[in-house]
Structure 1
């Protein structure tokens, strides 16, 4: 008697057979695509072999019933007809062959992409997955795409992305240092590593080395009031002080400035304010090594320049000579930013170029006056050597900040190219400088300084290397008026292109961009490069014999003219464009489109307009959040339908409050929340009713530390959709949607709320759990 299987066994057997068949089909389809890709790569230079990949795909996927099933769903000619995969690879191969000299320029872009991915993912397992993916893709392309430009491009791009992720991972691990967990007030001993005088803020900033004793991080930074700053506070001195120390501040809002990230790579474990007097336990020993004595020389030179010129002119003059920006008044600094002239205050490419160019021309002209020397010595090499020494000296004198070092590297590359007889100003020079910076300081990629400086230089060189622009800018035998007009047009066009290149970066980081910057720079750049800096150098030279006073007076007038220009442009109507937080995707599209147009030379560079247009559309369509909640819970901003922002606290200006207004795209002061028509406020709290997309929302925010009866608080919470407080609210407080109290904000950081889409963005979601974050 035959034994029948239970009915329950039939279904799994059938499903298993179907599952095996499905897996077989999937494997065959995958194998077909791989063979198709491999044949397309190997036959890229042979148009007649474009159907070889299809035939391999057909053979790989045709076997008995499986082949019949595939032929019904996936016809034999469907892949080449609709995707034209071989033709696409052939066309791409031809384009890359024409652009073969531009391909190395994408190596720094790949490394930068790997660094960006590392910052965005914030998880060691995901970083490992990225490295494995890059390595696997590189091996696969190396095996399947040998001898083709497409294969080589994908191979090197994969390696560069993996290298970027590895470099920043190693860099973050190498600078790891203890960080203070919570605010403390303590007395301790420390050795001074660096002093910085901020005369505009009446303070001296000290970077101290505690040698990881006394329960403190190794490196801390303390602000000391200027009246309590002893002259003996020099580098190398051991001091005893009492200070209030705090952990480095994290971002107060999503996409806001994150000082904790910068402090991590600087090795800072705490910042704070000195309390009381500072005792010098061991004075600094005299330094006979020139580099060690440079900070002292820099301070003395800055003080000397400010003593020769009064007010803002002296402060900016000291900045140009030494890089010391501490004496610049806040109003002057804001005017320079709003007018698009703030780059003049950062010692970078413009200043180093002026120094190098002046020394090179001066040396080669002086040596040319001696025929015997000019006939026996290669003057360009001697002049280039002197200019290189001047570039290094100026970099060290101005503090050797990262922007200055980048400019110095670029200047040295240009001088090297001049010596060996190669073209000096090329995009390869920019790519080499970017590559060196990304290898040594990969964390600078996500900062505005790196992005602004390299974007400006790349835009200038890409513009001036375009054939039509070159023919227009080229010197020719023409009247002086036409020559001068051509120079003005060239300067204006260069400034306009630079402004367009820098505007997305400025809007992303600072949420503002100057509109008239191109016009202001037409006057400011020549004035600074050809008048102010030469006059200042001449005055310092004449001061050695006591004859610099007349030149200092002329230099002061020129600097005052620069400040007048900055204040006039910044105060003009419509001089500044404010924008709320830009979506990250929009910024990435704008950057990619700009790089595509700048780094390629053939006609397909015009395709970069597509991501630029799409990114611009995302920016214009972006709806700003309705509620901004800072990480401390004290500062809250609410936006109404007219785009106006009201603040919960409207006291004196502070960093967090200013950051909130900046992220909201507000230029100037915000109104008080109690002045809104739908707000009911008292000394302890504010209740606000707003309407978004036809729905009414009630927001309750506390603004004092006084006791509130539990029953009254619980009843108010039940009537509110969102409750915001710097306090730790009791469990009985249960709003209808969000309870953003101290406990919750310590877990996720500051946050923004979009009431229309009911989307919440937090600092935790934006930055992830990197080593420098301290989410509970």
Structure 2
């Protein structure tokens, strides 16, 4: 009599057969598992949830043990669960280990400091200095100060001693939900405060005529040979320093999908390594003795590796550069061993290395964009049908040119599709013509601009680089023309409001499922990918956006127009609020909108949502309103917003958003149908930078507290 297998074994056997067919793709999920644990720590609010997530991951590993280590499914569950728990422990431990003091209260400070790093910002006529204040200055060990060029005491370099008087403040959280969280970045960078220097800045020691660092000197040299915007973009292509690029040019590069050319990444490192290998190999091959007796390919690979490492150090060691350098080194190792190293395993190894050393890089746009793009490119060109279609063959040059153009088009389309949800999540915008722009821009940059700049830099040693600089300037101006033409084309950019993190997670999970697996099961990834993209596209824009200081308010009127409370808001505020609201055009002023009544001191806005009328009251000046009138107005308003403290008797029907309340919540996104509030600072959040922001808010509240017996009198004045 045949013994019937238990019912639960049948699906396990099916998974086992599938994993056997996918055995070459299973190791690609190692960085995904580590990233799952890291992402869970960032997404979940507090210690209880982190511990629960770690136990869940370990439970997956225990389930794998129950299935059996002799099965691929069991081993896969064990490794995934253990690596996810490792990722969570890594980021939790790193965030705790690097903890440094954070300034609790904004104020004016005068202190002596040692310069640790200099970042010139020529486009803004200033520079950012990371300095280490002396002990006893009452400041954290490392702070960032912006200094205007006119106040700079000559050329300041790392190691100089300076005396600064600056208004310093704690690192700021995101101004509104979905905005850039500088507090989180500052925590992992070890920065405890940021501020702007007031004149004069005095050099205490250091040679004012000392030579700048190699990177600064190279930037200055390139900008000295190439004038205007071409010089700014040319220096960024060489060193990755984008501080000299004008805002309008940077925006055009972003809107046209060409911004990736400005950060040193795979394109630049590959060009540098490839050029070094080619030059060394051709020079050594001129000698018959060396060509016959020496391993020239191995020597050329070593020269390429040294070039890649040196270029990475020169470019500042950012995540995309390090990732590209690691990938290049793995490629060179594969070439030296006679293997094809351009595989998804190479990408997975680079991602795993970055996450093990810098786990916080996972949530940065740079890591997500660079690895998503490389994974898409390698997966596309590894597919047998695509490889067969695009592989080189003996044919006439028009056919070869057409095949190259098709390759660039398919690559651009794949990259644009993969990067779209990430770009929408981080920047609230996605370029629609980027694939077409990259067809011209990538070859122009790789095969024209960069070789011309490299030749010009080399020939400048003999004073012969001028013709090459002239040609490079023409090519760079053409690149900028393409960027501006594409950026200004109708419908070039899709703007969407802040995308939920869950939607991004679904999109990335679906994309990885499709890119990493090889069998037909990969198409199941379309379900989470489509769900994530649909959730992102269908996310309704908020009706109200309030910044964390209460000074700025964006209101979406009944006709769909987005207007600002303060018409004199600067470009930064307009771009930040417009991006979070999914607005790409100019923002109007609330005083000119129908449905609003404004005086110099306050504005009433009536909004029709959910079958009822919402009454919004916002103050917009420093003038104290009459106490009785303010209290009566609060009682008839649904939402009251102010950048100062409101009296306890001010009791609106729903939300009271004054200075004390906003210190605890941070910026807010408010939807009225149905009523929903999203805050920057999670009330249950226990991430260390959130606790630092909360402590700074509490300190600011104590420093500005007014005794109860004086409040009514002040309000009546």
- Normalising by structure 1, report the TM-score: 0.87
For structure 1, the 5+ residue unaligned runs are: 1-47, 54-79, 288-292
1:261 aligns with 2:184: yes
Within 1, Cα distance between the matches of 2:528 and 2:457? 50
Encode CA deviations 1:111-170: one digit per residue, 9 max, x unaligned. Answer: 111011111123223322322332343234224423111111111100111010011111
1:19 aligned residue: none
Cα distance in 1 between the residues matched to 2:118 and 2:401: 47
CA contact (8 A) 1:645 1:670 kept: yes
Return the alpha-carbon distance in structure 2 between the equivalents of residues 556 and 665 of structure 1: 36
Q: 1:118 to 1:284 in 2, by over 3 A?
A: farther
Offset at residue 484 of structure 1 (A)? 1.4
> 1:686 — aligned with what?
603
Name which of 98, 101, 105 aligns with 1:175: 98
1:741 to 642, 651, 658: 658
Alignment partner of 1:708 is 2:642:
no
Q: 2:217 aligns with which of 300, 319, 327?
A: 300
Map of 1:14-33 to 2, 5 A cutoff?
none
Counterpart of 1:235 in structure 2 is 158
Following superposition, the deviation at residue 766 of structure 1 comes to 8.9
1:117 matched to which residue of 2? Answer: 40
Deviations along 1:449-485, whole A, 9 cap, x unmatched? 0000000000000000111111101122222221211
The answer to whether the 8 A contact 2:496-2:537 is kept is: no
Q: Pick the aligned partner of 1:567 from 484, 503, 510.
A: 484
The answer to whether the aligner puts 1:725 opposite 2:648 as a matched pair is no
SS at match of 1:375: helix
DSSP 3-state at the match of 2:108: strand
Alignment of 1:65-104 (within 5 A): 80=7, 85-104=8-27
Partner of 2:494: 577
2: CA distance, partners of 1:486 / 1:102: 29
Partner of 1:192: 115
Deviation of 1:87 after TM superposition, in Å, equals 2.6
Q: Separation in 2 of the partners of 1:521 and 1:175?
A: 40
The corresponding residue for 1:544 is: 461
| Among candidates 175, 194, 197, match of residue 252 of structure 1 | 175
Maintained 8 Å contact 1:206/1:223: yes
What's the counterpart of residue 30 of structure 1? Answer: none
| Aligned-residue offset at 1:696 | 0.8
Check the 8 A contact 2:67/2:73 in 1, yes or no: no
CA distance in 2, matches of 1:426, 1:477: 26
Within 1, Cα distance between the matches of 2:50 and 2:232? 46
CA distance in structure 1 between the partners assigned to 2:12 and 2:200 by the alignment: 72
Partner of residue 409 from structure 2, selected from 492, 508, 519 = 492
Q: Which residue of 1 aligns with 2:73?
A: 150
1:269-284, aligned counterparts within 5 Å?
269-283=192-206
Aligned equivalents of 1:141 and 1:296: distance in 2?
Answer: 53
Kept after mapping to 2: 8 A contact 1:119/1:767 = no
Distance in 1 (CA, whole Å) between partners of 2:468 and 2:44 is: 55
Q: Deviations over 1:703-733 (max 9, x none)?
A: 1111111100011111111111111100111
Which has the larger displacement, 362-371 or 590-599? Answer: 362-371
Asked if 1:413 corresponds to 2:330, the answer is yes
Equivalent residue for 1:451, pick from 350, 361, 368: 368
Q: TM-score, normalised by structure 2?
A: 0.94
Give the 3-state SS of the residue equivalent to 2:165 in structure 1: strand
What are the equivalent positions in structure 2 for 1:520-669 lying under 5 Å apart? 520-669=437-586
User: What's the C-alpha RMSD, in Å, of the aligned pairs?
Assistant: 1.7
User: Cα gap change, 1:700/1:404 in structure 2, threshold over 3 Å: closer, same or farther?
Assistant: same
User: What are the Cα deviations for residues 266-309 of structure 1, in whole angstroms up to 9, with x where unaligned?
Assistant: 0000111111111222226999xxxxx8x612111111111111
- SS of structure 2 residue aligned to 1:444: helix
Summarize deviations over 1:36-55 as a string: whole Å, max 9, x none: xxxxxxxxxxxx86x443xx
SS at match of 2:494: strand
Q: CA deviation at 1:407?
A: 1.0
How far has the Cα of 1:316 moved from its partner?
A: 0.9
- The structure 1 residue matched to 2:345, chosen from 428, 432, 438, is 428
Would the aligned equivalents of 2:549 and 2:659 in 1 still touch at CA under 8 Å? yes
Q: Deviations over 1:644-667 (max 9, x none)?
A: 211101214243442111100111
| Corresponding position: 1:759 with 2:676 | yes
1:188-222 Cα deviation digits (max 9, x unpaired): 11101011111110002111011443211000111
1:565-594 per-position Cα deviation (integer Å, ceiling 9, x unaligned): 111111111111100111222211111110
Q: Aligned match of 1:505 in 407, 422, 425?
A: 422
State the Cα deviation string for residues 363-406 of structure 1 (Å, max 9, x = none).
21222222111000111101100101111111111222222111
- How many residue pairs were aligned? 692
Counterparts of 1:377 and 1:86 in 2: how far apart (Å)? Answer: 58
Question: In the alignment, is residue 358 of structure 1 matched against residue 281 of structure 2?
Answer: no
Q: Does 1:464 align with 2:387?
A: no
Distance in structure 2 (CA, Å) of the matches to 1:133 and 1:606: 27
1:437 aligns with 2:354: yes
Provide the C-alpha distance between the structure 1 equivalents of 2:558 and 2:387, rounded to a whole number of angstroms.
Answer: 50
What's 1:105 paired with?
28
2:477 and 2:664 map into 1 onto residues whose CA distance is 50
Q: In 2, distance between residues paired with 1:709 and 1:255?
A: 36
Tell me the equivalent position of 1:44.
Answer: none
- Distance in 1 separating the partners of 2:637 and 2:148: 45
Structure ranking higher on relative contact order (CA contacts 8 Å, 6+ apart): 2
Partner deviation per Cα, 1:627-680 (whole Å, 9 max, x = no partner): 111111111111134432111012142434421111001113211111121111
1:352, distance to aligned residue in structure 2 (A): 0.5
Contact 2:574 2:587 in 1 (8 A): no
Bigger CA radius of gyration = 1
Q: Is the 8 A contact 2:616 2:638 kept in 1?
A: yes
Q: What residue is the counterpart of 1:476 in the other structure?
A: 393
Offset of residue 255 of structure 1: 2.1
Q: Structure 1 residue 362: deviation in Å?
A: 1.8
Q: Does 1:331 align with 2:236?
A: no
CA distance in 1, matches of 2:171, 2:263: 24
